[in-house]
Amino acid sequence: MASEIQLFSADLISPKVLAALPKGYIARPLQRTDFNEGHLDVIRDLAYVGDITEDMWIERFDLMRNCKGTYYVVVIVDENRAGGKIVGTGSLMVEKKFLFKLATQGHIEDIAIKSDQQGKKLGLRLIEALDYVAEKVGLLSNILDTSEGKEGFYNKCGYEKAGSEMHHFF
C-alpha cells in the first residue's frame, strides 16, 4: 500500500483516529487505485453519482492531486473484507480567502458511510480525521452544509449551526 499514489501525505492522518477505529479498519488518503476499491459505491449511498468510468475517475483524481494543498479525501477501509474495501469517505476542500488576514477555510463535503457500516462511529472518526488535516495544514476553521436531520450528528462532532445555506443550480 505504501507504493500507491495517494491524494496527499498519509502523515496527515490522525494517529488518534487510527487508534480509535474498530479492529481491522484503517483511515487513509484516497489512492489512485480506489475506483476499484468501492469509492463510488460509498458515495452512491449519499447522492447521485452518474456513470463514471475508471479513466474519468483517474483523470479527476489526478486533477485534484495536482492542486496541491486544496483537496483532502479521506477513506475508511474495512480490511476484514476481501480486498479491503472502502466503507467510508469524506472530503475537505481548502478555500483561500482575503478575509481574516488572508485566512484559509476548510469545506467538508461528501461524508458517506456504507449503510451496513453505520453505528460503528466511523462517521465521527471521518470528521475527526478531516478536522485533524485542517488543523495540521493551518486552516482557520471548517464549515459544512447538512440537512436538519443530520444536524445532531454534526453537533456531536463539535460543529455548531451558523446561518443557512442557499443554492442556485445550473
Q: Report the CATH number at residue 125.
A: 3.40.630.30
- For the entire predicted model, the pTM comes to 0.92
- Condensed to tens digits (0 to 9), the pLDDT of residues 124-164 reads 999 999 999 999 999 999 998 888 888 878 888 888 888 77
Domain annotation covers residue 17: yes
Whole-number Å distance between alpha carbons of 57 and 34? 9
Rounded mean pLDDT, 9-36: 97
Tell me the pLDDT band of 78, cut-offs 50, 70 and 90: very high
Whether 5 maps to a domain, the answer reads no
Whether 118 maps to a domain, the answer reads yes
Q: Nearest to residue 12, comparing CAs of 78, 83, 68? A: 68
42 in a structural domain: yes
Q: Is residue 163 part of a domain?
A: no
Residues 97-120, mean pLDDT to the nearest whole number? 93
Task: State how many domains the chain has.
Answer: 1
Domain span including residue 75: 10-156
Which ranges constitute the DSSP H helices of 27-88? 39-44, 54-66
The contacts of residue 109 (CB under 8 Å, 6+ apart) are 90, 91, 92, 93, 144
Residue 161 lies in a domain: no
- Sheet of 25-29: strand order equals 25-29, 71-78, 85-96, 104-113, 141-144
DSSP H helical ranges for the chain = 15-20, 39-44, 54-66, 99-102, 122-136, 151-156
